[in-house]
């Protein structure tokens, strides 16, 4: 019995060393940590690049692939309302509606290949990598059908290029070196963004890493946006006075 226990202990130790030798980690960086929006902003492209290296302390100099990379770019979470219009007595009215709490304002998936070749749909859904899973993960309340409203919400966000999947968005420069480029549209939301990188091997996630960056208005646009949020009443009064003055000035000019 003692011999069997010793043999089992040796096997477990060997497995442990084998797993440690195969451990890997991601080392990555973003081309820009801050995206500034001004009056001439027409969109921006960011580059995420990185490498797969042995885990710190493993004693290994190389890692064995092949690897697959999936990068998920997620924008600030907001409350999104989805409404359904129906025709009542010849008039279009909003009837059913759902509120999706903490719903991403931006969600793009970049991959080094076809997602169904990289891993199973079960793993991708479980990790929340697919855009169509985002409504299911949001806290929902209202009087509409969650599945139907969620599908339509993702469709509309995709049409605005705020949601999407690019299965050629990650380029493998070598067995371990990769780069990914994400395009931010002109109407990209302001706030803190998160780039989550998943390392896949044989269909399983073996490592992941997160990088943050911010999108901020600058100059006069930032002053207007900050004033509207921090001093809404003063901002509203100023807009009304500006509209009155503009109307009066236009009347004076055209009268002459």
**Structure confidence by residue, pLDDT tens digits, 82-125:** 887 777 766 766 677 888 898 999 999 999 999 999 999 999 99
Q: Which two tokens stand for residue 243?
A: 């509209």
Percent of the chain with pLDDT over 70: 79
State the sign of the Cα–Cα–Cα–Cα dihedral 182, 187, 193, 198: negative
For residue 180, give both structure tokens. 């990914």
**24-217: what fold?**
Immunoglobulin-like (2.60.40)
Mean pLDDT computed over 5-20? 40
Domain ranges of the chain: 24-217
Could you identify the residue written with the tokens 């809404």? 232
Query: How far, in Å, CA of 68 to CA of 171, rounded?
Result: 10
Q: Which of 82-96, 154-168, 212-226 has the lowest mean pLDDT?
A: 212-226
Q: How confident is the model over 49-77, as a mean pLDDT?
A: 86
Residue 245 in this model has a pLDDT that exceeds 90: no
In degrees, rounded to 5, the angle at the alpha carbon of residue 74 between the alpha carbons of residues 121 and 223 is 165
Mean pLDDT over each residue of the chain, to the nearest integer: 80
More confident site: 196 or 140: 196
How distant, in Å, are the alpha carbons of 63, 239, 242, 254 from that of 247?
69, 12, 9, 11
Q: What is the spatial distance between Cα 109 and Cα 131, in angstroms, rounded to a whole number?
A: 8
Over 80: is that where the pLDDT of 225 sits? Answer: no
| Beta carbons of 68 and 112 less than 8 angstroms apart | yes
Give the separation between CA 209 and CA 207, rounded to whole angstroms: 7
Per the structure block, which two tokens stand in for 182? 């994400």
- Dig out the tokens for 33 from the structure: 């940590």
Distance CA 117, CA 108 (A): 18
More confident residue, 220 or 106: 106
Question: Which among 93-97, 240-244, 248-252 has the top mean pLDDT?
Answer: 240-244
Which tokens hold the place of 15? 């497995």
Q: What is the pLDDT of residue 139?
A: 79
Cβ–Cβ contacts within 10 Å for residue 8, how many?
A: 10
pLDDT at 108: 95
Is pLDDT at 229 greater than 90 in this prediction?
no
pLDDT of residue 197: 94
Residue 250 pLDDT:
72
Q: What pLDDT is stored for residue 120 in this prediction?
A: 93
How many angstroms separate the CA atoms of 191 and 68, rounded? Answer: 29
DSSP letter string, 154-219? HHHHHHTTSEEEETTSEEESSSSEEEEEEEEPTTPPPEEEEEEEEEEETTEEEEEEEEEEEEEE-H
pLDDT value of residue 164: 94
* pLDDT above 50 for 14: no
N- to C-terminal Cα separation, the chain: 109
């Amino acid at each position: 019995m003692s011999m069997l226990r010793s043999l089992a202990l040796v096997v477990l130790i060997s497995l442990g060393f084998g797993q440690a030798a195969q451990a890997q980690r991601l080392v990555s960086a973003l081309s820009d940590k801050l995206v500034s929006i001004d009056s001439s902003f027409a969109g921006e492209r960011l580059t995420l690049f990185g490498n797969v290296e042995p885990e710190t302390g493993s004693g290994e100099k190389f890692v064995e692939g092949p690897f697959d990379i999936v990068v998920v770019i997620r924008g600030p979470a907001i409350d999104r309302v989805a409404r359904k219009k129906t025709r009542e007595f010849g008039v279009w009215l909003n009837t059913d509606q759902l509120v999706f709490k903490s719903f991403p304002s931006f969600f793009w998936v970049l991959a080094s290949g076809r997602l169904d070749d990289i891993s199973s749909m079960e793993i991708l859904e479980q990790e929340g990598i697919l855009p169509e899973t985002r409504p299911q993960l949001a806290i929902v309340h209202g009087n509409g059908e969650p599945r139907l409203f969620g599908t339509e919400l993702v469709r509309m966000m995709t049409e605005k290029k705020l949601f999407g999947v690019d299965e050629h968005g990650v380029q493998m420069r070598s067995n371990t070196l990769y780069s990914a480029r994400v395009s931010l549209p002109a109407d990209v939301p302001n706030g803190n963004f998160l780039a989550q990188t998943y390392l896949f091997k044989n269909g399983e996630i073996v490592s992941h890493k997160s990088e943050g960056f911010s999108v901020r208005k600058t100059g006069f646009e930032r002053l207007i946006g900050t004033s509207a949020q921090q001093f809404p009443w003063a901002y509203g009064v100023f807009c009304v006075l500006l509209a009155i003055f503009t109307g009066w000035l236009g009347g004076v000019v055209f009268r002459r």
